[in-house]
């Protein structure tokens, strides 16, 4: 996938890339792909935790993109995104696009019990009010979150990046089977399995309470004597994944590979996963993984960058070209 280094100046002016502090490596990689430098800005945190943003140059009449993932520290990163966009809006940017590789509160997408919020809707409203004209994000936990926005956007998937890696190592896999730890994730896992021409298995589990804990029950499908590829969209504390790995091993699985888009790896997830009998952890850089977390996973951690994917979407959005063509849609 190639991108031209000359971006036509259209009705929205030139591409102006801004980044918060949440994912500097990814932002720099996106800028390198587009051959467009990140614009200068100051982000200052005062002693009372309030944030201050100042742009180094004018963006009047320009096409601005704010790159900011909203992982932990969630509220600091979310506020940076909102304040950056409002600053651009007040400086008369022609168009502002929120580029959010990982969107926070995506699991709070419905009222599944009395007297609880739908926080994903609130976050969507905040992004719009702050000044976003468009948004770009990856692999939302629930597709209906797109409906919470009244502005246009591109919700893209990075699963094909993980599939390409697995296709490269396919020759060393023994009768691979795709295992999903969440029945609600079955449709996406089915697409994943189809691209690898592999059968599927499911883990039936039951989640109780609001403490993010769940109890794995049993496997539906055959994993005995097979390499198992566990697929999920996000790993938070790692509890469900470790349960899935253990139950797969109990049912006779050979090597276990764990693939996921968003490496939240919060609390002691990295340490917990590092102790699990997993051959490789295959993920992306939508959320940065600290050196402290990496040491628990060692050379079993394989990180595939989403920078070319996001960079190409930005290029096509700026030039008014189809994003669906990238996926033969």
Secondary structure in 3-state letters for the chain: CCCCCCCCCECCECEEEEECCCCHHHHHHHHHHHCCCECCEEEEECCCCCEEEEECCCCECCEEEEECCCCCCHHHHHHHHHHHHHHHHHCCECEEEEEECCCCCCCCCCCCCCCCCCHHHHHHHHHHHHCCCEEEEECCCCHHHHHHCCCCEEEECCHHHHHHHHHHCHHHCCCCEEEECCHHHHHHHHHHHHHHCCCEEEEEEEECCCCCCEEEEEEECCCCCCCEEEEEEEECCCHHHHHHHHHHHHCCCCCEEEEEEEECCCCCHHHHHHCCCCCEEEEECCCCCCHHHHHHHHHHEEEECCHHHHHHHHHHHHHCCCCHHHHCC
Same domain, yes or no, for 118 and 199? Answer: no
Band of residue 1 on the pLDDT scale cut at 50, 70, 90: very low
The answer, as to whether pTM is greater than 0.85, is yes
- Total domains, the chain: 2
Same domain, yes or no, for 28 and 142? Answer: yes
Check residue 136 and give its pLDDT: 98
Same domain, yes or no, for 168 and 300? Answer: yes
Same domain, yes or no, for 169 and 200? Answer: yes
Residue 1 lies in a domain: no
Q: What is the rounded average pLDDT of the residues 290-300? A: 97
Same domain, yes or no, for 235 and 246? Answer: yes
Check residue 328 and give its pLDDT: 79
Question: Mean pLDDT score of the chain, rounded to an integer?
Answer: 93
Which one is catalytic: 89, 205, 249, 279? 205
Q: Residue 45 is part of which domain span?
A: 15-157+307-327
Residue 10 lies in a domain: no
Check residue 205 and give its pLDDT: 67
Same domain, yes or no, for 90 and 179? Answer: no
For the cut 80, the answer to whether the pLDDT of residue 131 exceeds it is yes
Q: What is the rounded average pLDDT of the residues 282-300? A: 98
Check residue 211 and give its pLDDT: 57
Out of 1-10, 100-109, 281-290, 314-323, which region has the weakest mean confidence (pLDDT)?
Answer: 1-10
- 213 catalytic? Reply is no
Band of residue 4 on the pLDDT scale cut at 50, 70, 90: very low
Residue 261 lies in a domain: yes
Same domain, yes or no, for 208 and 118? Answer: no
Residue 112 lies in a domain: yes
Same domain, yes or no, for 293 and 278? Answer: yes
Same domain, yes or no, for 147 and 231? Answer: no
Same domain, yes or no, for 84 and 122? Answer: yes
Q: What CATH number is associated with residue 84?
A: 3.40.50.2020
Q: What is the rounded average pLDDT of the residues 101-110? A: 95
Same domain, yes or no, for 212 and 96? Answer: no
For the cut 60, the answer to whether the pLDDT of residue 207 exceeds it is no
Residue 2 lies in a domain: no
For the cut 70, the answer to whether the pLDDT of residue 148 exceeds it is yes
């Amino acid at each position: 996938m190639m991108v031209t280094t000359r971006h036509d100046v259209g009705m929205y002016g030139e591409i102006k890339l801004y980044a918060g502090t949440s994912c500097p490596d990814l932002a720099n990689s996106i800028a390198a792909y587009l051959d467009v430098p990140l614009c200068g800005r100051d982000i200052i945190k005062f002693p009372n935790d309030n944030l201050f943003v100042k742009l180094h140059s004018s963006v009047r009449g320009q096409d601005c993109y704010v790159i900011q993932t909203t992982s932990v520290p969630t509220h600091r990163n979310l506020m940076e995104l909102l304040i950056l966009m409002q600053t651009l809006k007040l400086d008369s940017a022609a168009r502002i696009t929120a580029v959010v590789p990982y969107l926070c509160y995506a699991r709070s997408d419905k009222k599944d019990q009395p007297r609880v919020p739908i926080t994903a809707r609130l976050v969507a409203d905040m992004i719009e009010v702050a000044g976003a004209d468009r948004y770009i994000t990856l692999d939302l936990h629930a597709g209906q979150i797109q409906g919470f926005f009244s502005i246009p956007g591109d919700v893209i998937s990075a699963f094909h990046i993980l599939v390409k890696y697995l296709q490269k190592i396919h020759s060393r896999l023994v009768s691979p089977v795709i295992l999903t730890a969440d029945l609600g994730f079955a449709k996406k896992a089915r697409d994943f399995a189809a691209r690898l021409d592999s059968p599927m298995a499911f883990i039936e589990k039951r989640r109780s309470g609001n403490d993010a804990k769940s109890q794995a029950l049993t496997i539906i499908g055959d994993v005995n004597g097979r390499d198992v590829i566990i697929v999920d969209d996000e790993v938070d504390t790692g509890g469900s994944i470790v349960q899935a790995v253990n139950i797969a091993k109990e049912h006779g699985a050979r090597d276990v590979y764990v693939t996921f888009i968003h490496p939240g790896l919060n609390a002691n997830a990295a340490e917990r996963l590092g102790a699990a009998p997993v051959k490789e952890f295959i993920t992306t850089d939508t959320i940065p993984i600290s050196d402290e977390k990496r040491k628990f996973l060692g050379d079993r951690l394989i990180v595939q960058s989403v920078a070319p994917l996001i960079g190409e979407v930005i290029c096509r959005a700026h030039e008014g070209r189809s994003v669906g063509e990238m996926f033969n849609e």
